[in-house]
Chain A
Amino acid sequence: MKTVKPRYLENSLQVVFFMCAAISTITTVAVIGILAFETWGFLQHVSIVEFLFGTRWSPLLHPKSYGLLPLLAGTTLIVVGASLVALPIGLACAIYLSEYAGERARNVLKPVLEVLAGIPTVVYGFFALTFVTPILRTVLPQTDVFNAASAAIVVGIMVLPMVASLCDDAFRAVPDNLREGAYSLGATSFEVTTRVVVPAGLSGVFAAFVLAISRAIGETMAVTLAAGATPNLTLNPLESIQTMTAYIVQVSLGDTPAGTLTYQTLFAVAAVLFLVTLCLNIAANMIMKRFQEVYE
């Protein structure tokens, strides 16, 4: 006959787990709620058209103006620059790792990438300011002390490990028997890689790219340190700019009283940031799903 085990522990643990799940859900909902509420308040004073399409951003200095485009341009510069660095190099790294590297090279490179991914972002910002910027200024003397290019380069280096690692996963998920099939038709390694493996892993590659872009958009520390605080509607990467994230830092560090319009701009900008990265992450997830179904 079975003895009935006491269920107290199990039941109480269940409650604990439920609480943990509940807390994270509630937090997310609360954050979204506050963002929406404050943004709503902001939009009572500034029309959404002016906010999204205005070309001057000056919420702190008179004459005040709340056009988001300069911040969007700043973020765009960083994202484009970082993508130019991270996407091709990350893809090439992944191709090397999954198709060419031997066990030994892999065993060295994978941990190096992980270390690169684990460096605190403030170190990257510092590195941009003290190392990348001086080089840029030597090569291109017209470069500002704070400039988008330097920040974009380090943000690119920062997201590169993620791109390399996700693309590597995508390529390694391509079954070996496809490679064998290609080789048996007289293909070279290069042809197998470019005409079978990369196309077969393409949705994984796209997902990696989207996630990298999403991270570059949200990146804060390096751009605050290296890119400047000048909301400048420009596409010149050598100028000082301000990104959406850097603006949030700037105002958060100041002593803007709660309830003012300036205070509310924080939430409006954060809401835009949140929506953009949310959309990108959803897109990446959808692409990933497709990619998982291919070989089932």
Chain B
Amino acid sequence: MSSEENVILNIDDACISYGGDLAVRNVSLQIFEKKITAIIGPSGCGKSTLLRSLNRMNDFIHGCEQSGRISFRDEDLYGDKMDPVEVRLRIGMVFQRPNPFPKSIYRNVAWGPDINGLEGDLDDRVEKALRQSALWDEVKDRLHESALNLSGGQQQRLCIARALAMEPEIILMDEPCSALDPVSTARIEDLLFELKENYTIVIVTHNMQQAARVSQHTAFLENGVLVEYGDTEEVFTNPKNKRTEEYVTGRFG
């Protein structure tokens, strides 16, 4: 990892448990600004848990506890001075299953800026977000139709647009393509390439090729433990850990 990269999130010795059962164990890693970081690992290894701790979505889960320190631009993400609503305003999220609101396409994208009173023209903001998520041409003539009429892939791009409309500093994506067909998946990967110019993205995926294609850094998690973290190329072509090698080459359980 070259030294000119800026650390935007610093996770230091994070342990996260559900009702006492540890799901993430002593994980320390750094997320770099304007880069795509992939988190890979077998199902149930704590990827979502770790990701959700980065914008305090675990706050809503009863019995979820966390220790260690996560700093966001040198501020304690879980400190008393940090307002969790503000955190989520600055760190957006795209979920595994597309979850558009049962409202029009326009209202979906405008929702966040609207409730948070973001400045600027709402129409412009909606158009910009939809263009960034490569959905504009498909929906520009039916902005006021229900978002639920869109296909799964379109709905997921709408959810990305919805997050982008907030112009967050970081976008967290939890297996955003797992519910999508290959064509939609390819479109979203193209999208990630374009977004990385301006956004910091952390993406959880269990699709190894996807991690290798889109990310600059890759973290491999197993049983809640961070087994390996480094440049994506290193992790995939020359892993230091034997478990990582077995996982990325598909010789896994």
Contacts and interface: CB of A to CB of B under 8 A. Distances in A.
Interface of A: 103, 175, 177-178, 180-188, 191, 195-196, 199-200, 294-295
Interface string B62-75: 10000000000000
Interface string B108-151: 00011001100000000000000000000000000000001000
B86 interface: yes
A175 B85 contact: no
A294 B149 CA distance: 11
Contacts of B57: 180, 183-184
Contacts of A295: 102
Contact of A186 (B85, B102, B103): B85
Contact of B95 (A181, A186, A187): A181
B115 A178 contact: no
13 contacts: A103-B62, A177-B97, A178-B102, A180-B95, A181-B95, A181-B162, A184-B88, A185-B162, A186-B116, A187-B115, A196-B101, A199-B102, A199-B103
Contacts of A181: 95, 99-101, 159, 162
Q: Determine chain A's interface SS by DSSP, over half rule.
A: helix
B166 interface: yes
Given A184-B88, A186-B89, A294 B102 contact: yes
Contacts of B163: 184-185
Given A199-B103, A200-B102, A185 B95 contact: no
Contacts of B60: 180, 183
Given A180-B57, A195-B111, A186 B86 contact: yes
B88 to A, nearest CB: 5
A175 B166 contact: no
B153 interface: no
Given A184-B88, A186-B89, A178 B99 contact: yes
Contacts of A196: 101
A185 B92 contact: yes
B232 interface: no
B10 interface: no
B115 A185 contact: yes
B63 to A, nearest CB: 11
Contact of A185 (B97, B102, B166): B166
Given A187-B85, A188-B85, A191-B115, A182 B101 contact: yes
A295 B99 CA distance: 11
B93 interface: yes
